[in-house]
Each structure stands twice: as C-alpha cells, then as structure tokens.
C-alpha cells in the first residue's frame, strides 16, 4: 500500500464544501458525553478547514444503530460539545443525506460548520451503498478522511464517497499513515515489535507480517502460553489455543530462518484461577515458564521477563507495541504491562503503540506524553500491522 497520501494542506479548500469523516463515536451515559477525547482529537483538522474559509460538513457514526433511527445514538450531543470547543455554532442536520442535510449544506457560508446525523442510521452505510455514497458526495466538492479508527471499513462515508470526490487525509489520518507507514516500510533499526493479548488467533497475520520486517519479536500476554506449549513445555491451566500449536511452531521456525530474535517470557505470575471480578485482589507466585504447576495458570509475565523485554525495547531504534502483557485491569497482574509501557516511555526510539488495550494502558498509567505515537484505531492499527490495505486510506489521492 502507498503510504504517501495527499493531506488537507495539499489541496485548495477555500470556499469549497468539504465533507470530513471524523470519529465521533464517543461514549455517552444518560445522554451526556463521558469522554470527549475523540472530538478534541478532530479539532486541528476542523479548525484548519474553518480558518481556510471552507464550508465544513462533518459526518461520523456513533454506536451500532444498524440502520434504525435510535434517538440515544444521535450526534446532537457531539454538535453541542463541538460548538463549545470551537466557540461557534455547529449546525445540526436532521438527517444524514436527506432534504434537511442537503438544504443546510447548500446554505453554508465560508467558515461555517455543520454535522450530519449518525451515518449508520442508514442501512446502506455499512454496505458501502453507491446511492448513499453519491448522496453524501453531492453535498460537497472535496472529501477528507480523518477517522483512522474506521479506515479498515469500506463504508459509504469512509471510502465510497471517494469514488465521486477528490479525497485527502486530515491531520489524524496523516499522522497515523506517516508514522506507522514509515515504521513498517522503512524503520530505523534495530526494529522491535512487542505483541500481547489473549489469543494467538487474533494476531496470526500480524505475527507473520512482522517477521518479514523486525529484528526482534517479543511475545507476551495470554498467547505466549500457546508458544510455550508448542515448544513442549507444560503450562498448567494457562490459556492455550491447541489448534494453533502447529502455527506457533511454523512462526518460530520462520523467525529462526530469517534471523529474527523471538523472545518469549522466561518467567510468569501464576495463580490458581482467573480473577473474578477481573480487578479482585489475588495471591500470585512467580515461577519459570518451564515450571508452571498443573493446577496453576499464567496471568502475567514475571520480573525476569519484564527486565528482558524492557532491555530489548530500550536498545531499539523503532518499537511497535500492540496488546497487554497480562491481565492489566488487575492491580496485581499489571506489572508486565507497566514494565513495557515504562520501557517505551524511557526509550529514545520511535515508539508506536497500536490502539486498544495497550493504548488504554499507556494513557491510564500516565505514559502517553512520552510515547511517539499512540494509534487512534484498534482494529485499523492491527490490520495496518498485518500489512493489509485499509479502504479508508487506499481511496485517498497519492502525492
């Protein structure tokens, strides 16, 4: 995939109607936004367009209304918050691409901002319906995608409209593509990737793709126990995907053939059962991964593994991390994840954290400011690491 895409700065926007896809899928409770982080993240792109005199038409989905008009998933709350943040009224359309939206879009003056209703109120959105794409495109002169979190979806508002309009990236997408794209295409070396999370099956293609690119691949989290089992070790009651044992053997053989160093945990935190509730205090012991008792399960990497993984991260020039090292929601089982986050924060390398749980962990632990880039997309960043073409990026014009 070509990562060298045009951005809003490469196109004339003054006086033009600009349809900008944002990620306003914010959490709400009883009709109130509980975190406006995604709205704030979109401000640089919106403010650039406003300051350049564009007529700005914003669109986004919220939740999963599945083509039904659900009042609790209306973007009106986003329009209200955006009005406060921009210090000017954000005009709210009563529909997505119907009469009201079209009339309001036609009446916009330079520097005005409007927001369409939840794109997923229309069934055709997730099916990338050409008629909906045409309707959306008919309101604008230019399409800007600034929603990396949905860039792996070929929907009308993320990719379909680009069939009918010149398409460029906003600042959020530009940052994702330039930093992650460079890390995968032309990284400064040594290049270290750290993968965690529960299941090998979630990261099959990521592991395979990264082995073509990295110097060291570190495997932690629940999926490490499947790799350990594939080496013939007894892992007690630890999470093991028996159907993926042969795959793990293949990947270890591939790493050896390519001269890639593959690090698995040398020790682990063990307990007799998974914590319930997940944040309950539990008693743990630490043992070598070659000596997990039959009646115990591994739930986090141990202190030796923490030190080894941290040393590899600190010696790197580029580090990509996706997935926690243990049950990081638990105060006893978060030590491995904290150690990795701390190592990235202390490193002089280009450090990239793929979205989801590892991004949440960095933010909760206060390390976000010390990381080069924290991805805004969970699924999208995973597919990026797999080397897949993302429809919401592929549709943008090349520089």
Residues with a catalytic annotation lie at: 38, 199, 356, 379
Length of the chain: 399
Q: Please, what sign has the CA dihedral across residues 174, 391, 160, 95?
A: negative
Per DSSP, helices labelled H in the chain are 37-51, 76-86, 99-106, 130-138, 171-185, 204-210, 224-230, 245-258, 303-314, 335-346, 357-365, 378-386, 391-394
Q: Which residue has the tokens 């330039």?
A: 178
The answer to whether 78 and 63 have CB atoms below 8 angstroms apart is no
- Output DSSP code: residue 184: H
Q: Which residue has the tokens 């002169």?
A: 141
Instruction: For residue 145, list its beta bridge partners.
Output: 21, 169
Helices and strands: H and E segment counts in the chain:
13, 17
For residue 176, the Cα-to-chain-centroid distance in whole angstroms is: 9
Structure-block tokens of residue 72 = 């609790």
CA–CA separation, 182 and 350 (whole Å): 10
Rg from Cα positions in the chain: 23
Q: How many CB atoms lie within 10 A of CB 4?
A: 10
CA–CA separation, 236 and 290 (whole Å): 10
CA–CA separation, 319 and 353 (whole Å): 8
CA–CA separation, 84 and 59 (whole Å): 18
The answer to whether 292 and 238 have CB atoms below 8 angstroms apart is yes
CA–CA separation, 91 and 103 (whole Å): 12
């Amino acid at each position: 995939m070509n990562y060298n895409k045009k951005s809003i700065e490469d196109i004339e926007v003054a006086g033009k109607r600009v349809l900008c896809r944002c990620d306003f899928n914010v959490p709400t409770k009883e009709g109130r936004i509980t975190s406006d982080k995604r709205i704030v993240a979109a401000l640089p792109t919106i403010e650039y367009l406003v300051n350049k005199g564009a007529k700005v038409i914003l669109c986004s989905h919220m939740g999963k209304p599945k083509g039904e008009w659900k009042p609790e998933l209306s973007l009106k709350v986003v329009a209200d918050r955006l009005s406060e943040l921009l210090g000017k009224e954000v005009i709210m359309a009563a529909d997505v691409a119907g009469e009201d939206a079209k009339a309001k879009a036609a009446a916009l003056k330079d520097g005005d901002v409007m927001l369409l209703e939840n794109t997923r109120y229309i069934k055709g959105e997730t099916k990338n319906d050409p008629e909906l794409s045409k309707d959306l495109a008919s309101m604008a002169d230019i399409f800007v995608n600034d929603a990396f979190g949905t860039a792996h979806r070929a929907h009308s508002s993320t990719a379909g409209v680009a069939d009918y309009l010149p398409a460029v990236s906003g600042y959020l997408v530009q940052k994702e593509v330039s930093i992650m794209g460079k890390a995968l295409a032309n990284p400064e070396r040594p290049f270290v990737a750290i993968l965690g999370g529960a299941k090998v099956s979630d990261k099959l293609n990521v592991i395979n793709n990264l082995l073509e690119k990295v110097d060291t691949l570190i495997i932690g989290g629940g999926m490490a126990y499947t790799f350990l089992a594939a080496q013939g070790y007894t892992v007690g009651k630890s999470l093991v995907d028996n159907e993926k044992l042969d795959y793990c053997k293949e990947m270890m053989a591939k790493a050896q053939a390519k001269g890639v160093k593959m690090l698995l945990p040398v020790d682990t935190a063990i307990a007799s059962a998974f914590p319930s509730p997940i944040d309950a205090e539990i008693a743990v012991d630490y043992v070598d991964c070659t000596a997990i008792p039959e009646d115990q399960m591994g739930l986090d990497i141990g202190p030796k593994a923490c030190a080894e993984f941290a040393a590899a991260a600190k010696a790197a020039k580029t580090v990509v991390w996706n997935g926690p090292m243990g049950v990081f929601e638990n105060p006893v089982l978060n030590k491995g994840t904290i150690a990795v986050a701390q190592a990235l924060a202390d490193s002089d390398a280009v450090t990239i954290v793929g979205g989801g749980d590892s991004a949440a962990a960095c933010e909760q632990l206060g390390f976000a400011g010390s990381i080069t880039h924290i991805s805004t997309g969970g699924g999208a960043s995973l597919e990026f690491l797999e080397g897949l073409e993302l429809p919401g990026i592929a549709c943008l014009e090349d520089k």
